[in-house]
Amino acid sequence: KLTSREFHPENTVIEIGNLKIGDGSMTMMAGPCSIEGLEQIMECARIAKEGGATVLRGGAFKPRTSPYAFQGLEEEGLKYIREAADAYDMKVITEVMDEANLELVAKYSDILQIGARNMQNFKLLQAVGKTGMPVALKRGISGTIDEWLNAAEYIVTQGNFNVMFVERGIRTYETATRNTLDLSAVPVMKTLTHFPIIVDPSHGVGIREIVPPMAVAGVASGADGLIVEIHPEPEKAWSDGAQSLDEALYANMMKKVHIMEKAM
- The torsion of the CA quartet 143, 120, 69, 34, rounded to 10 degrees, works out to 90
Told to check if 53 binds ligand PEP by CB under 6 A, we report no
Residue spans of beta strands (DSSP E) within the chain: 14-16, 19-21, 27-31, 55-57, 91-95, 111-114, 135-138, 163-167, 197-199, 225-229
* Choice from 14, 26, 33, 186 touching Mn ion (CB under 5 A): 33
Least Å distance, CB 54 to Mn ion, is 20
CA–CA distance, 125 with 24 (Å, rounded to integer): 27
54 phi-psi bin (left φ>0, alpha ψ -120 to 50, beta other): alpha
Cβ partners under 8 Å of residue 67, min gap 6: none
- Is residue 115 near ligand PEP by the rule CB under 6 A? yes
116 lines the binding site for ligand PEP (CB under 6 A): yes
Stretch that binds ligand PEP, among 82-90, 98-106, 114-122, 183-191 (CB under 6 A): 114-122
**Residue 115 interacts with which of ligand PEP, Mn ion, none, CB < 5 to 8 Å by class:** ligand PEP
User: Any contact of residue 240 with Mn ion (CB under 5 A)?
Assistant: yes
Which of these ranges, 112-120, 146-154, 181-189, 244-252, lies near ligand PEP under the rule CB under 6 A? 112-120
Q: Which of residues 181 and 216 has its CB atom nearest to ligand PEP in the complex?
A: 181
Interaction site with Mn ion (CB under 5 A): 33, 240
